[in-house]
Amino acid sequence: MKGQKEFHSVVHALHIIFIICSSFIVARSSDDIQSLFSLRDTLTKSRASIPSWFDTKIPPCNWSGITCLGDNVQCIDLSTTPLNLQIPKCIGELRALEVLNLSDCSLTGPIPATLGNLHNLHYLDLSMNYLSGLLPSSLFSLTTLKEIVLDSNRFTGSLSSSIRALEDLTKLSLSENSFSGSLPHELGNLRNLDYLDLSVNSFSGILPPSLGNLAKLQYLDLSKNAISGSVFPVIKNLTRLISLDFSYNSMEDWESHEPEDHWISNCKLGGKVPDEIFNLKNLTGIDISENYFEGGLPEGIGELVNLVYFLATRAGLSGRIPAQLGKCRNLRSLDLSFNSFSGPLPDSLMGLESINTFIIEVNHVSGPIPPWISNWKRVTFITLAKNQFTGSLLPFSLPMLTSFSAESNSLTGEIPSNFCSDSTSLTLISFAENRLTGGIKDSFRSCSKLTDLILLGNHLNGEVPDYFGDLPLVTLELTQNNFSGEIPAGLLNSQTLLELSLADNLFVGCIPDSIGKMRLERLMLDGNFFEGEIPSSIGKLENLTTLSISRNRLMGRIPPELFNCTKLVTLDLSSNSLNGPIPRTISQLKLLDNLVLSRNQLSGPIPGEICSGFQKLNPPDSEFIQHHGVLDLSSNAFVGQIPPELASCTGLVELRLQGNGLNGSIPRVLASLSKLAYVDMSENFLTGRVGPELRNLQGLLLAHNRLSGPIPDKLSETMPSLVKLNLSRNSLTGPFPTSALDIKSLTHLDISWNSLGGSILLSGGRAPLLVLNVSNNFFSGELTQTLSNFTSLAVLDIHNNSITGAIPQSMSSLASLTYFDASANHLRGAIPCGVCDIDGLSYIDFSANDFNGYDCTVVPGPCEAMRLSFSPLHTYPPTRARASTWGIALGVMLGVLGSVLLLLKWRSRRRQATTASATLALAKANRSTVEPASTDELLGKKSKERLSINIATFEHPLLRVTLADILAATENFSKAHVIGDGGFGTVYKASLPESQTVAVKRLNGGYFQGDREFLAEMETIGKVKHPNLVPLLGYCVFSDERFLVYEYMENGSLETWLRNRDDAREALNWATCLKICLGSACGLAFLHHGFVPHIIHRDMKSSNILLDRAFEARVSDFGLARIISACETHVSTDLAGTFGYIPPEYGQTMKATAKGDVYSFGVVVMEVLTGRAPTGQEEGEGGGNLVGWVRWMVGLGREEEVFNAWLGAGVGAREQMRRVLAVARACTCDEPWRRPSMLEVVRMLKEIKLVVQ
C-alpha cells in the first residue's frame, strides 16, 4: 500500500512537471509567433517584396522565407529581398533560430547586439549589404555557429580574439570589408575550419603561426590585404588545402614610405617561394600574384599534380621557368606574366595537354617560339607579348585557339601564308611591335573567324589585300608600317569593321567616297600622303566617335556633312592644308570633347557653335583617349574676336588659339571655365587686360599680343595652380607682380618686353622658379639678397632695364643657374667671381653696365670669356628707360608699322602653296611652314606636335636592385667592367644574380635633389618601351648614390663604330647605316610623340645611339631627360646637349625643345654619312663644325665629296645618300620652325628606304 502511494506521488509529480514544461513550450512557441508579428511590423515599408507576410489567410510559419518546427521558428531566409532598413532587434527573440540568411537585402547600420541571444544559431549570412561598424562582442558567444558569412559590407575594426570560442566553426568569410589590424592568433583555435576567406580588407602584420593548426582547411584566401613577411612556413602543414590565394598584399601607405633596402619585404609577401608549399599535394589552385618574392619558381612545383590553375602575375619571380612544371598535366590556366623569367620555354611544357590559357607576357623569355605549342590541342588563349622571342613565325595547328598575341618581341621574317589554315578558330592576332617584314598578301586569307588583327609597329610593306573586306574583322590596326598604295576597295566593303587604323604608313591617293558605306566607329589615317579633299561621305558614318586624319596633304574646306557624325568625341584634322571657315554645323557635335584643327589655313571667325560639345566635366572612360577637353585651333588664320560662347564649353581643359589673327579683348566670361588648366592665346592681336583668372589654371601664355594695363594683383589667390606664366611682348604697365612669387607651383615667369616699372621685389617668394625673364622693361632699384632664395633658378634674364646697385654676393649660391643676362643696366661695383664660378653656368652677360672690375684676381672662365673693359665713366649706351619722349614716340610708330608689315607678310606666306623643292626631304621639311612671328616660334614652339590620341605604353614594375647586388656584379666598380664614361656618369657591364647581363650607369652627383623626385622620374621613364629605345630595367638609391640598370647592348655605341673600330668598314655598309638612321629616328619620334608625357632627350648624339646584336639602333639616356607635362616647356638646369650637337638657339634661351633634338639628330646623320666628328673641322671650312662644313661643301658644289668612301658608290645607294643628306640638312636648319618633326623625319627615311632600291 505504501509503495502504491509512493508510485502515485511520483506520477503526480511527473504530471506537474509535464504541465509546467508544456506551458513553457507553448509560451516559447507563442513568443516566436509574436516575434514574427513584431518582425512583420518593422517590414511594412517592404510590403511589396514580401506580400505573403501581410496576407491574413496565411499563418506566420507559412510566410515566404520562414521555416518552423511546430511553432518554433528555425529558419529565416529573406536573401535578395530589398528590405532597405537596419536589422530588426526583435530577431534576437527567436531563441530556436538555427539559420538566418539576410544576404543582399540592402540592410544598413550595425549588427544589433541582440543577435547574441540566438544560442541555437548554426548559420549566419549577412553578406552583400551596407552594414557597418564593429562586430558586436555578443556574436562570439554563439558557440553553436558553424558558418559566418559577412562578405561585401562595410564592417570596420579588428577581428576580436574572442573568436576562439567558436570552435565548431567550419566557414568564416569576411571578404570585401574594411577590417584592419593583425590577425589574432586565436584563429588557430578554430580547428574545424575548412573555409577561410579574409580577402579585400586591410589586415596587416605577419600571419600568426597558429594558422598552421587548421589541419582541415581546404580553402584559404587572404588576397588584397596588407599582410607581410613569409607565409609558407605558417601553412606548410595544411595538407588538405585545395585553393590558396595570397595575391595583392601591400601596405596602404605605400607612397608615404622612403625607399629602404627592406622596403620591399615590408610591403609585400617576401622571401623565396619555399619548397614547403609543395607538400600541399591536394592544391588545385594557387594565386600568388602581386607580391615581391625573390628568386625563381622552385622545381618542386612539379609535385602538385592536381594543380588546375597557377597564377603568379607580378610576383617578383625570376630565373628560368622550371622544366618540372610540365609534370602538372592537369593545368588548364598558367599565368606567369609581369615577372623576370628568362631563357627559352622548356620543352617539357609540351606535355601540358589540358592547358587552356597560357600567359607569360612581360618577361625576358627568349629564343624562338617553339613549334611544339601545336601539341596543346585544347588551348584557347596564348599571350607571349613583351618578351624577347626571336626568329620567324610558324603556323600552328591549334583548332581551339581563339586569341594569340606575340606583340613587342623581336620576331623577324615574313608572316607565313595561310597562318590560320590549321587554327581556324582564331579571332584575335597581335604581332605588334616586332621586326616583321614583307607583305601580307595571303597571310590571313584563311582566318575566317578573325575579328581583331593588330600589326602596328613593324616593317611590313606592300599593299593591303582586298580580301580583308571578306573577313569578319572588327579591329584592323596597321599603324607604323610601310604599307603603300591606296586604301583597297575590297576593304571598304566590310560591314563588320568598327576600328580602322592605317596611321603612319605610306598610303597615297584620295580618301575614297565609298568609306561612307562602312560602319566605322574609329578611323585613324594620320601621317600618310592622302591628297585631295575630305570626302563628304564620311558624314554617313553615324556611329563614328574618333576621326583622326592629321599630317596628310588634304586641302579644301571642311565639308559640313562631316558634322552629321553626331557621335564624334575626337576630331583631329591638324597639319594639313585645309582652308575656309569652320562650318557652323559643328553645333551638331554634342559629344565632342577633343577638337584639333591646328596647323592648317583655316580662316574667318571662330564659331561659337563649337561649344555645343565640350560639356563633359570628367575625363572620358576610354583606353584610347588620354587628352580630353582639348580645343586646339592654333596656327591658322582665324580673325575676329574670341567668341564669348566659349564660356559654355564647361568641359574644356586645354584652349590653344595661338598663332592666329584674333583681336579684341579676352572675354571675361571665360573665368567661369572651372576645369580649364591650359590657355595659349599668344601671337595674336589681343587687347585689353590679362585674363582669364582661374584657380585650376596651370599654364597661361599670352605672349606677343597688345595687352595693356597692370598684371593682376593677388595672383597667388586667383590663380594658385599656375606653373607657367608668359606675358612677354605686350604693352603691360605697372609694378612687378610680386604676388606671382607666392604661387607654390610656378616654375616659369616671363614678363619681358613690356613697360613694367618699379623695383623687382623678390622677398618672401615661395615659387620654385626655374625661369625668370623680366628683360626689356623699365625696372629700377637694386637686386636684393633674397634673390638667392630661388634655389632652383636656371634662367635669369634682367637685361635692358635700369637696375642699379651691385650684384648680390648671395647669387653665388644659385647652383642650378645656367643662363644669366644682366646686360644694359646701371649695375656697378665689383662683379662677384662666385657667380662666374657656378658649375654649369653656360651663358653670362654683364656688358653695358658700370662695373669697375671683379672681386678676385683670377677670373673664372665664363666671365673671362666676355673680355669686359671697365671704366669709371659711363661709356655704355643709355638703356631704353632713358630714351627721350620723341624716341619713344618714334619707336611706337615704327612698332605699329612693323606689326602691320609683319601681318601682311604673314598672311601672304599663308596663301602660298608649298611647291616642289630640290629634294623630297626638303619639300617635307618646309611643308606647311610660315614666317615666325615671335621668339617662341623661332624656338620651335609653333611646330610643336600635339597628339590628341595616344596610348601610353605601360611596363612591368622596375627592378629595385640593392647596392650589394651592384657591388657584386661590378666587383666593387672594377675598371675591368667599365664600358663607357660620359657626362652623366660611368657605365659598367654587370651580371645580376639571375645571370642577366645588364649595363649599370653610376650617375655623377648633383643630378637629383631628392629621392622622391628621382623615383618619380624613374617610375615614369620605366613605362617607356619601344623597339628602338634602350629600356630602363631598374634602379638603386643608396644614400647620395644613384644607379640605373639598362638592357645591355652587345655592339656598343654608334660613335665607337664610326671612330674607333677597325672592322667598321665591313660592318657598317650603307644598308646598315640607313637602318641605324631610321631606327634611331623611330626611337626619338616615339619619345616626342608616342608617349604621354612627351619626353625631350636633350643630349642626342652618336654615343647615345647603342646597337644590339643585330645592329638595330636603340636610343639611350633618354631617361635622364626632364619630363614634359601638358603645361610646361622644358627648361634645362644645365646647357642641354654636347658641343657639336647643340642647336644654335640653346645658347640664347637654355630651353630644350623637341626641335632641338631634331637638330642633334641631323648632326648624327651627318656623322654617319661623312664619317667625320661633329667638331674639329677646319675653321675656314664652315666654321669648325660638321654642320657648317657640310653646308660649305654643298655650297661649293662638292656634295659628292661629303660622303664617306667606304659607304659604297652604287647608283641606288648614292641616290639614297643624297636624299638622306637632304633630310639631315633640313633637320639642322638654324631656325627651329623650319625643321621637320621627328614623325616627318621617320616618314621621309621610310620612303627613301622603300622607293630607292
The pLDDT value given to residue 1120: 60
Range from 58-67, 264-273, 932-941 that averages highest in pLDDT: 58-67
Output the furthest CA–CA distance in the chain (Å, rounded): 151
The pLDDT value given to residue 868: 62
Distance CA 456, CA 526 (A): 13
Cβ(698)–Cβ(677) below 8 Å: yes
CA distances, 360 to each of 296, 364, 956 (Å): 15, 9, 12
Residues 6 or more apart whose CB falls under 8 angstroms from that of 162 comprise: 137, 140, 186
- pLDDT (mean) for 1164-1170: 94
Q: Name the residue with cell 597661361.
A: 700
Which tens digit of pLDDT belongs to each residue from 1096-1107? 888 899 989 999
The pLDDT value given to residue 90: 92
Cβ(559)–Cβ(582) below 8 Å: no
Q: Residue 78 above 60 pLDDT?
A: yes
Which tens digit of pLDDT belongs to each residue from 816-846? 888 889 999 999 999 888 888 888 787 888 8
The pLDDT value given to residue 865: 65
Cβ(1047)–Cβ(1022) below 8 Å: no
Alpha helices in 626-749 (DSSP H): 715-718
Cβ(1236)–Cβ(1244) below 8 Å: yes
- Torsion on CA atoms 478, 482, 487, 493, rounded to nearest 10: -30
Closest CA to 1220 of 1195, 1194, 1241, 1193: 1241
- What the block records as the C-alpha cell of 1181 is 671650312
Q: Please state the three-class secondary structure of 311-325 as a single string.
A: ECCCCCCEEECCHHH
Residue count (the chain) = 1253
Residue 1117 known to be catalytic? no
- pLDDT (mean) for 397-408: 93
The pLDDT value given to residue 1010: 52
Per-residue exposure over 531-561, b if at least 16 CB sit within 10 Å of its own CB, e if not? eeebbebbbbbeebbbbbbbbbbbbeebbeb
Q: Residue 1121 above 70 pLDDT?
A: no
The pLDDT value given to residue 819: 86
The pLDDT value given to residue 134: 95
- pLDDT (mean) for 1091-1096: 70
Distance CA 136, CA 133 (A): 9
Please state which of the ranges 333-347, 647-661, 1129-1143 shows the lowest mean pLDDT.
1129-1143
The pLDDT value given to residue 1099: 84
> What predicted TM-score, i.e. pTM, was given to this entire model?
0.63
Closest CA to 883 of 774, 822, 801, 827: 801
Cβ(427)–Cβ(444) below 8 Å: no
pLDDT-derived band at 969, boundaries 50, 70, 90: confident
pLDDT-derived band at 744, boundaries 50, 70, 90: confident
The pLDDT value given to residue 614: 76
Annotated binding site: 1001
The count of other CB atoms within 10 Å of the CB of residue 75 is 18
- Torsion on CA atoms 137, 110, 170, 219, rounded to nearest 10: -120
Task: Between 402 and 1089, name the one with better pLDDT.
Answer: 402
The pLDDT value given to residue 1005: 56
- What the block records as the C-alpha cell of 856 is 678676385
The pLDDT value given to residue 881: 37
Q: Residue 1124 above 60 pLDDT?
A: no
Please state which of the ranges 34-38, 262-266, 537-541, 634-638 shows the lowest mean pLDDT.
262-266
Which tens digit of pLDDT belongs to each residue from 843-894? 888 889 998 888 887 777 667 766 565 644 333 333 333 333 334 344 444 4
Strand, coil or helix: 4: helix
- pLDDT (mean) for 761-771: 79
The pLDDT value given to residue 911: 32
Q: Residue 758 above 90 pLDDT?
A: yes
Q: Residue 1092 above 70 pLDDT?
A: no
Range from 429-433, 1096-1100, 1132-1136 that averages highest in pLDDT: 429-433
Q: Name the residue with cell 661695383.
A: 829
| Helix 1211-1227 with 1186-1195: angle, nearest 10 deg | 120
- What the block records as the C-alpha cell of 789 is 632664395
Peptide bond into 692 cis (omega under 30): yes
Task: Between 779 and 908, name the one with better pLDDT.
Answer: 779
- pLDDT (mean) for 705-724: 91
The count of other CB atoms within 10 Å of the CB of residue 427 is 17
The whole-chain average pLDDT of the chain stands at 81
Q: Residue 506 above 60 pLDDT?
A: yes
Annotated binding site for ATP: 1001
The pLDDT value given to residue 20: 38
pLDDT above 90 as % of the chain: 46
The pLDDT value given to residue 960: 72
Range from 44-48, 94-98, 913-917, 1033-1037 that averages highest in pLDDT: 94-98
Range from 544-548, 1048-1052, 1153-1157 that averages highest in pLDDT: 544-548
The conformation of residue 1199, written as its DSSP 8-state character, comes to G
> Within 13 Å of residue 1246, how many CA atoms lie on the same side as its CB?
27
Q: Name the residue with cell 621627328.
A: 1238
- pLDDT (mean) for 673-679: 89
The pLDDT value given to residue 338: 87
Closest CA to 1145 of 938, 942, 945, 941: 938
The pLDDT value given to residue 932: 34
Q: Residue 325 above 70 pLDDT?
A: yes
Please state which of the ranges 43-57, 313-327, 477-491, 641-655 shows the lowest mean pLDDT.
43-57
Cβ(738)–Cβ(767) below 8 Å: no
| E strands, 392-434, in order | 403-405, 412-414, 428-430
- What the block records as the C-alpha cell of 436 is 616583321
The pLDDT value given to residue 991: 84
The pLDDT value given to residue 870: 61
Cβ(670)–Cβ(652) below 8 Å: no
The count of other CB atoms within 10 Å of the CB of residue 1196 is 10
- How far the first Cα of the chain sits from its last, in Å, is 133
The count of other CB atoms within 10 Å of the CB of residue 1111 is 18
Q: Name the residue with cell 586569307.
A: 445
The conformation of residue 357, written as its DSSP 8-state character, comes to E
Which tens digit of pLDDT belongs to each residue from 330-341? 999 999 998 989
Per-residue exposure over 1204-1223, b if at least 16 CB sit within 10 Å of its own CB, e if not? beebeeeeebbebbbbbbbb
pLDDT-derived band at 1183, boundaries 50, 70, 90: low
Cβ(1007)–Cβ(839) below 8 Å: no
pLDDT above 70 as % of the chain: 81
Please state which of the ranges 420-429, 947-956, 978-987 shows the lowest mean pLDDT.
947-956
Strand, coil or helix: 373: helix
Tell me which amino acid residue 310 is. F
- pLDDT (mean) for 564-581: 94
Closest CA to 465 of 449, 482, 488: 488
Catalytic position from the list 1099, 1108, 1134, 1157: 1099
Task: Between 939 and 759, name the one with better pLDDT.
Answer: 759
Strand, coil or helix: 1093: coil
- pLDDT (mean) for 1217-1244: 89
Residues 6 or more apart whose CB falls under 8 angstroms from that of 352 comprise: 325, 326, 328, 329, 331, 334, 358, 376
Alpha helices in 275-348 (DSSP H): none
The pLDDT value given to residue 922: 32
The pLDDT value given to residue 871: 46
The pLDDT value given to residue 1174: 86
Cβ(252)–Cβ(278) below 8 Å: no
pLDDT-derived band at 695, boundaries 50, 70, 90: confident
pLDDT-derived band at 1004, boundaries 50, 70, 90: low
The pLDDT value given to residue 28: 44
Distance CA 167, CA 266 (A): 32
Distance CA 805, CA 648 (A): 51
Distance CA 833, CA 812 (A): 8
Task: Between 460 and 888, name the one with better pLDDT.
Answer: 460
The pLDDT value given to residue 319: 92
| Helix 1070-1089 with 1154-1170: angle, nearest 10 deg | 170
Task: Between 260 and 780, name the one with better pLDDT.
Answer: 780
- pLDDT (mean) for 747-763: 90
